[in-house]
Structure 1
Amino acid sequence: MSYQEQLSPWVVHKLMPNLQQAAVARFRHRNDAEAYLKLISQMMPHMRFAITFDVHKKLCASSATGAQGVSQGAIAHS
């Protein structure tokens, strides 16, 4: 996750068939993401969108994998 993505954790995703999703826009504040979601939902009523909050976590260096993980939680759907 880039530094710019860390600064803007609120993400509006376009929900597609087969449980796929595409990031449409990133925002620093939740109310900005909600306003954008409302606008884009009015412009494209046949599409489905969701807001998520991306959390970037570094695992401890002593962990078995030493990998990085990303946790997303759906906040709002339209």
Structure 2
Amino acid sequence: MTYRPDLRPWAVFRRVSAVDNICVARFRTRPDADAYMSILRRLTPGANFQVVFDKLPQQVTQG
């Protein structure tokens, strides 16, 4: 693991099912993550998004 992913601990996750979550994007600050989540909620009203502080970064799915 490199140091760079540790610089973005705030993550926006999309809840796909009861057990699956997809990391959509990562940010350095909570306000940036909240702003991005509000945009996602406006663009995809049926989806469920959540901002979390994720110490163990995962691969971000683009798309």
Same-fold call, TM > 0.5?
A: yes
Structure 1 spans left out of the alignment, 5+ residues: 57-69, 71-78
Q: 1:32 to 1:17 in 2, by over 3 A?
A: same
Q: Which structure would you say has the larger Rg?
A: 1
Calculate percent identity across the aligned residue pairs: 35
Q: For residues 19 and 43 of structure 1, what CA distance do their matches in structure 2 show?
A: 24
Structure with the higher helix share, 1 or 2: 2
Q: Displacement of 1:4 after TM fit?
A: 2.0
Q: Displacement of 1:54 after TM fit?
A: 1.4
Structure 2 spans left out of the alignment, 5+ residues: 58-63
Q: Which runs of 4+ in 1 moved over 2 A?
A: none
What RMSD over aligned residues (CA atoms) do the two structures have, in Å? 1.6
Structure with the higher strand share, 1 or 2: 1
The alignment of Structure 1 onto Structure 2 pairs a total of residues equal to 57
Task: Specify which structure has the bigger relative contact order, considering alpha-carbon pairs within 8 angstroms and separated by 6 or more residues.
Answer: 2
What TM-score do the two structures reach when normalised by structure 1? 0.66
1:39 maps to what in 2? 39
Q: 1:23 to 1:2 in 2, by over 3 A?
A: farther
1:26 aligns with 2:26: yes
What TM-score do the two structures reach when normalised by structure 2? 0.80
2:54 maps to what in 1? 54
